[in-house]
Chain A
């Protein structure tokens, strides 16, 4: 199963700005040979620590979501957030098709912990954290990729869906 590359590359409807300072492919967890990576989109003109929003893509088979942070929509949201003075962090997490959703949720937790532990270096205010959870991608050409679990429901790991956010502070 594969999604149309054109769909994956598509940016947000609202044309994304440019200018974020982006650090790519920071490894926040390893799973055997697999390195789980995240990107950090920082505001270009931030003088101090900025609040951070983590972008959590929805669940789907591993081959689909393995590189979700590089999809156009998450690159776009990283830029949008940075343009508004917020650090955006899209990241790859594993699929619950391979493991319990609780273990996938641990990926999310570790990604957040990784960034908060390096808050000073990354220009992040570790006390102002948002978690933005998305449902799985859908494509008219490939079907509803997020609804292929045995129970027929789409899931974002450990969080409700469809477009949801949690606001956190330390």
Chain B
């Protein structure tokens, strides 16, 4: 909805501990335009995450790519179902690099 409104420019999606592709579904629901498919998507997967397993993250990545997202990056870290600050920083750096901002 935000993307479709045109009031903001979405620079990146950081998804951590995700076991289901909701982004692809949201894209199909709101149809914000092909431009959103260029937005980088960082998947952050804990190697021992019992809730959203590494395998589940692989499936999410495949689903996003089937939807048409062109810049999907899956990164694994040593840890469980948690956010890791260093991964957030890496993702933000990547977003800046890709988006040139």
Contact surface of A with B, Cβ cutoff 8 Å: 102, 105-106, 108-109, 112-113, 116, 129, 131, 153, 155-156, 158-170
CB of B92 closer than 8 Å to a CB of A: yes
A161 touching B13, Cβ below 8 Å = no
Bound Cα distance A158, B23 (Å): 8
Residues in chain B near residue A105, CB distance under 8 A: 1
- Would you give 19 A-B contacts (Cβ < 8 Å), ordered by A? A105-B1, A108-B1, A109-B5, A112-B2, A155-B22, A159-B22, A159-B23, A160-B18, A160-B21, A160-B23, A161-B22, A163-B83, A164-B14, A166-B2, A168-B10, A169-B8, A169-B9, A169-B11, A170-B7
List B residues at the A interface (Cβ < 8 Å): 1-2, 5, 7-23, 25-26, 29-30, 51-52, 81, 83, 88, 92, 95, 101
Cross-chain contact B26 with A163 (CB below 8 angstroms) = no
* CB pair A170 B13 closer than 8 Å: no
Residues in B with CB closer than 8 Å to A160 are: 13, 15, 18, 20-23, 25-26
Tell me whether B16 and A162 are in contact (CB under 8 A): yes
Choose one: B8, B12, B29, B51; the contact of A162 (CB below 8 Å): B51
